[in-house]
Amino acid sequence: MTDEHSVKGNRLDPWLDNYATRAHGLRASETRSLFAVASRPEVVSLAGGMPNLKDLPLDRLAESTARMIRKDGGRALQYGNGQGLPRLREQIPDVMALEGIDADPEDIIITTGSQQAVDIVAELFIDPGDVILAEGPTYVGSLSIFATYQADVQQIEMDADGVIPDALEEAILRLEREGRRIKLFYCLPNFHNPAGATLSEERRRTVVDICHRHHILIVEDNPYGLLGFDGQTYTALKTLAPDDVVYLGSFSKIFAPGYRVGWAVAPPAVREKMKLASEAAILCPSSVGQYSISMYLEGFDWKHQIEEFRGMYHDRCDAMISALNEYMSMCTWNVPSGGFYVWVGLPDGLDAKDMLPRAVTNLVAYVSGTAFYPGGSAGHDHMRLSFCYPEPVEIHEGIRRLSDVITHDLELIDLFGPSYSRPTEGVSTPAPDQI
Amino acid sequence: MTDEHSVKGNRLDPWLDNYATRAHGLRASETRSLFAVASRPEVVSLAGGMPNLKDLPLDRLAESTARMIRKDGGRALQYGNGQGLPRLREQIPDVMALEGIDADPEDIIITTGSQQAVDIVAELFIDPGDVILAEGPTYVGSLSIFATYQADVQQIEMDADGVIPDALEEAILRLEREGRRIKLFYCLPNFHNPAGATLSEERRRTVVDICHRHHILIVEDNPYGLLGFDGQTYTALKTLAPDDVVYLGSFSKIFAPGYRVGWAVAPPAVREKMKLASEAAILCPSSVGQYSISMYLEGFDWKHQIEEFRGMYHDRCDAMISALNEYMSMCTWNVPSGGFYVWVGLPDGLDAKDMLPRAVTNLVAYVSGTAFYPGGSAGHDHMRLSFCYPEPVEIHEGIRRLSDVITHDLELIDLFGPSYSRPTEGVSTPAPDQI
């Protein structure tokens, strides 16, 4: 009787030879331990995308939750419907109506955050090697999912008005000539994470038309759409082309992420498959979470709460832009009209990923632009600054500290030449807790 | 400018040609709409696996939850750690200790029900065509997941003492000769769903030894382990071979499923990959759910609650066995010593799947044995009866109604011959709401 165990795998991981191909692409993403970095009280974190919850009425939420458990506990603590709580699916169209989107409760699937919705869509559509089109840069959490499904993410250039339609169509034509299977265009049209930009109304129509002509399904990821600083909203791609769009919404930014409740609205046949895929993965979303959100939508003035959130984030964004003007004239940035993020361009020769350990040493954190490109293949010259969580006075101090780090790095370049010229294509990104 | 859209897909689903290969295997499983069937008040459902929650102290839970939200709301409503709430990971070993399992909080990953843990393990290990060994029959929810990852599920025969070790080793040797890649042995050792059987202590050692010699990772799924009617527990496979087992636990059956909180304990390298895969899929499990479970474990006499659950399920099982003795002498069954299920063998010639519409018409529901074999390839001669949810008096009435249906089907066979001889290999199973 031989012990085959001892000759397979290695000492660190005896199961190394047993993993699926997709598992070898799993790496710690750059957001992975941002929570850990951000939680050190002495660090000003401009890194995480955590919403600010301190204005939520915790006492009233506590009382209402207790009432809900007394009244509906038997159902709220039980397994639920795989597609989501019917009552909540009837309420979600009221939230979407604020952006002028018309949704049928039957076409809504409730998910464990909209992250799970991205995961399900990728699971349903992506065979290894299939192409996903995405903005460049794009949301790091979706890049992790796309890597899991071994997608080839092709990023399309953006400017201040969002993704550039000509660049989108050129990429599609090139990929079609190469015989590639383009499955999805993953798009964050509103207050983009990380770029802060919003897709112009004119471009929305063009983008939808391009994707329709090439029969490419659009995944419209819209967690920030109700957080325009002046209450402004934009025409949803879903509204322009209901049959061509899987729309993703989330309560994480307009209420609270701890319930992990998001949703998708999909064309009927896709919605049916998404429901089956979600049931396979988790049986059903949390009943307690869904009853809690439903209770909140019914018993609280949630529209007013969103207005308060808008005002608060507007103030914080103003604090960040004002501090950037005061301290960071060596950089470039956009001025967002909503959402959580400013996308900052570094002076020539600086490398956001290289600089991060020095920034943390100087008690300020950000996310390197490399996190928003697959394998860190680009974005060295940018960083994402979040204004959502810290107080305005902390934002000011954080930017001041960051300007010191940049100034110091620029002095080093003057002395020793640029650090920003190494080959980076395909290199994976280390987790921030390695610094 | 041609409209390519119109020539692709079909009218029912324009995206039909765009799905990934794995999506074509997604079918409605037989459990899918059991909730809908079970929820009609006039039907006695012996079908669903919903735990009975009416003995939970809802008033005290409501008060404690309110206190938790007032005190910890800022964190409970926020994003959390991808691996799970550290405090809860420190409490889970106390639960596992009741079964004599020694677990390190560092090796625990909290998941959206243990269903998500099965999903992650399959994602990490299964390339299309890889073999998963499982008991025959096995848990339908895991079969759905394994189908999604295009696994070849090879089922091993069971008897009253659980899976038969000789059959397991024979299957492994045969598959190895065929050059197949065997990745996992998925095993429910305690109060099996659906078979009701428990793996004997002697066989546990043999099974672990066989898998170790053939370097096959064991997935030990244990939602019912603390629900032995006499408080008896068994040696976990995890205890026998910590490095060879991914252990899955759940709060769904010993507390409440509505929080969707389960957990996995895995060897360190596997645990690290599971954490990354879970973060990619959902960012983090529900903070509210985890804080609620943590509060329950800290503030409530949960061990006593488990004892009460045991007594209640014992009474219901007794009611079912007594009714089976009274009405169903034409059938065979095991007498489980814990858990939720009795696995009933039908008389020759009867087909559990064919009979189900007639049973529902007669106001009783069960799950056809076919649900527990991939593609319904076997199990026509069995049905799973659950005693967890209905009251003893309902169980008695349900079995009476079922015996009428069986008696009637037997009369039809006498008249017209057996219905149970059609080819069924590979045929997919319709959802119960199609009946």
What pLDDT, in 10s, does the model give residues A60-91? Answer: 999 999 999 999 999 999 999 899 999 999 99
Along the 435 residues of chain B, how does pLDDT read in single tens digits?
344 444 456 668 899 999 999 998 777 755 455 556 656 889 999 998 899 998 899 999 999 999 999 999 999 999 998 999 999 999 999 999 999 999 999 999 999 999 999 999 999 999 999 999 999 999 999 999 999 999 999 999 999 999 999 999 999 999 999 999 999 999 999 999 999 999 999 999 999 999 999 999 999 999 999 999 999 999 999 999 999 999 999 999 999 999 999 999 999 999 999 999 999 889 999 999 999 999 999 999 999 999 999 999 999 999 999 999 999 999 999 999 999 999 999 999 999 999 998 999 899 999 999 999 998 889 999 999 999 999 999 999 999 999 999 999 999 888 887 754 444 433 333 333 333
pLDDT in tens, A339-366: 999 999 999 999 999 999 899 989 999 9
pLDDT at A278 over 70: yes
Closest Cα to residue B366, out of B393, B339, B341, B392?
B341
Per-window interface: B 116-145 vs A, CB < 8 A = 116, 119, 123-127, 130, 141, 144-145
> Does A205 lie at the interface with B, CB-CB under 8 angstroms?
no
Q: Output DSSP code: residue A228.
A: B
User: Which residues of chain B does A113 touch, with a Cβ-Cβ cutoff of 8 Å?
Assistant: 282-283
Go through chain B and tell me how many residues it has.
435
- Judged by CB atoms closer than 8 Å, whether chains meet at A259 and B286 is answered as yes
**Residue of B1, B18, B112 with shortest CB distance to A213:** B1
Q: Which residues of A touch B39 (CB under 8 A)?
A: none
CB–CB of A144 and B215 under 8 A?
no
CA distances from B34 to A241, B368, B391, B430, B433 (A): 35, 11, 18, 12, 8
pTM: 0.91
pLDDT confidence of residue A339: 98
B259 touches A263 (CB < 8 A) = no
Q: Do B124 and A19 touch (CB under 8 A)?
A: yes
Put simply, whether A173 touches B (Cβ < 8 Å) is: no
Cβ–Cβ contact B170 with A under 8 A: no
Cβ distance A260 to B282 under 8 Å? yes
B400's CB contacts (< 8 A; 6+ apart) are B323, B327
Q: Please tell me which residue of chain B has the smallest CA distance to A277.
A: B26
Q: What are phi and psi of A190, to 5 degrees?
A: -115, 125
Cα separation values, B279 from A116, A382, B426, Å? 10, 24, 35
Residue partners of B401: CB distance under 8 A and separation at least 6:
B44, B359, B362, B363, B364
Residue B211: exposed, middle, or buried by beta-carbon count in 10 A (0-12, 13-18, 19+)? buried
Measure the CA dihedral A369/A371/A373/A377, to 10°.
Answer: 80
Q: With contact defined as beta carbons under 8 Å apart, do A325 and A312 qualify?
A: no
> Within 10 Å of residue A398's Cβ, how many Cβ atoms?
28
Cα B283 versus chain centre, distance: 24
Average pLDDT for A156-181: 98
Question: Can you give the pLDDT at residue A71?
Answer: 96
| Phi, psi at A338, each rounded to 5° | 175, 180
| End-to-end Cα, chain A, rounded Å | 46
Q: How confident is the model at residue A408 (pLDDT cuts 50, 70, 90)?
A: very high
Q: What are residue A152's DSSP bridge partners?
A: A131
Residue A70 contacts B where some CB pair is shorter than 8 Å:
yes
Q: Which two tokens stand for residue B292?
A: 């609620």
> A201-224 pLDDT, tens per residue?
999 999 999 999 999 999 999 999
The position carrying tokens 């598959």 is B175
Q: ipTM of this predicted complex?
A: 0.90
Q: Across the interface, do B127 and A287 touch by the CB < 8 Å criterion? A: no
Tell me, yes or no, if A15 comes closer than 8 A to chain B by beta carbon: yes
Mean pLDDT of A83-103: 97
Backbone angles phi, psi at A146, to 5 degrees: -60, -35
Which of A272, A288, A84, A310 has the alpha carbon at shortest distance from B28? A272
pLDDT at A423: 40
Mean pLDDT of A175-181: 98
> Which amino acid type is present at position B366?
Y
Per-residue pLDDT, A40: 80
Tokens linked to B19: 């799905």
Model confidence pLDDT, tens digit, residues A295-310: 999 999 999 999 999 9
Per residue, what are the HEC states of chain B? CCCHHHHCCCCCCCCHHHCCHHHHHCCCCCCCCHHHHHHCCCCEECCCCCCCCCCCCHHHHHHHHHHHHHHHHHHHCCCCCCCCCHHHHHHHHHHHHCCCCCCCHHHEEEEEHHHHHHHHHHHHHCCCCCEEEEEECCCHHHHHHHHHCCCEEEEEEEECCEECHHHHHHHHHHHHHCCCCEEEEEECCCCCCCCCCCCCHHHHHHHHHHHHHCCCEEEEECCCCCCECCCCCCCCHHHHCHHHEEEEEECCCCCCHHHCEEEEECCHHHHHHHHHHHHHHHCCCCHHHHHHHHHHHHHCCHHHHHHHHHHHHHHHHHHHHHHHHHHCCCCEECCCCECCEEEEECCCCCCHHHHHHHHHHCCEECEEHHHHCHHHCCCCCEEEEECCCCCHHHHHHHHHHHHHHHHHHHHHHHHHCCCCCCCCCCCCCCCHHHC
